[in-house]
Amino acid sequence: MTDRFGERAGGARVEGAKPRARFVREAADVRRQALIEATARCLAEKGVGGTSVRAICARAGVSSGLLTHYFEGVDALILATYADVGTRVSAALDAAIEAAGDDPHDRLRACLQANFREPILDPDLLATWIAFWSLVKSDPAIAAVHADVYGGTRAQLEALLQAAAPALSASQTRIAAISLSALVDGLWLELCLDRSTFSPEEAQAMVEDAMGKLLQI
């Protein structure tokens, strides 16, 4: 008789069984992710100055020893958190693009407009980004992640623009991607700070108008 970890009752492991190793890896991944999520919450609520080992571990409900087991320190954890947040935003954009179907214009539109819906349109996400941005000029590792996150987003937008408007030259596509990114970022920032001036739907309409004009270059 074996238990769910591949061991016989009494402790002897069944020959060739490896579920426990997989279980241990999965448990480690959960603990590591819990620390990353706790760090994101601390950054959103307290900023970089208030994001300490004690604050993170209290939020995650773990001991400080667990943090140092998975990360070299708070700086390494903040770096991992930035990469994780960037990955989650990218996943949300990818999902929107995939759901839009095969039409290139619909895919471009979906990518742009997803920025004005949850989970991307989130004041807490803005607070977390602000904490990251505050480190870009002083921390080369954070600057590298920042460049990777934004470089990936722009490259994705350039590819979508090229598919939607193949007549655009490479330089036109690059400038169009930068222009749309700047518009999206500015509107997203304002909406996260204060929704009383315009609505997410109005932001989407403004981006739609800009997209239409750029595609007619």
Could you tell me what percent of the chain has a pLDDT over 90? 74
Q: Is the pLDDT of residue 9 over 50?
A: no
Beta-bridge partners for 13:
7
Mean pLDDT of 23-52: 84
Q: Is the pLDDT of residue 129 over 50?
A: yes
pLDDT in tens, 78-97: 999 999 999 999 999 999 99
pLDDT of residue 29: 83
Greater model confidence, 30 or 157: 157
Q: Which two tokens stand for residue 83?
A: 């990469």
Mean pLDDT of 45-68: 91
Q: Is the pLDDT of residue 114 over 60?
A: yes
The pTM is what? 0.80
Mean pLDDT of 21-39: 76
- What domains can be seen in the chain, in order of their start residue? 1-71 (1.10.357.10), 73-215 (1.10.357.10)
pLDDT of residue 16: 52
Q: Is 2 helix (H, G, I), strand (E, B) or coil?
A: strand
pLDDT band for position 12 (cuts 50, 70, 90):
very low
Greater model confidence, 3 or 129: 129
Q: What does the DSSP assignment read for 89-150?
A: HHHHHHHHHHHT-S-HHHHHHHHHHGGGSTTTS-HHHHHHHHHHHHHHTT-HHHHHHHHHHH
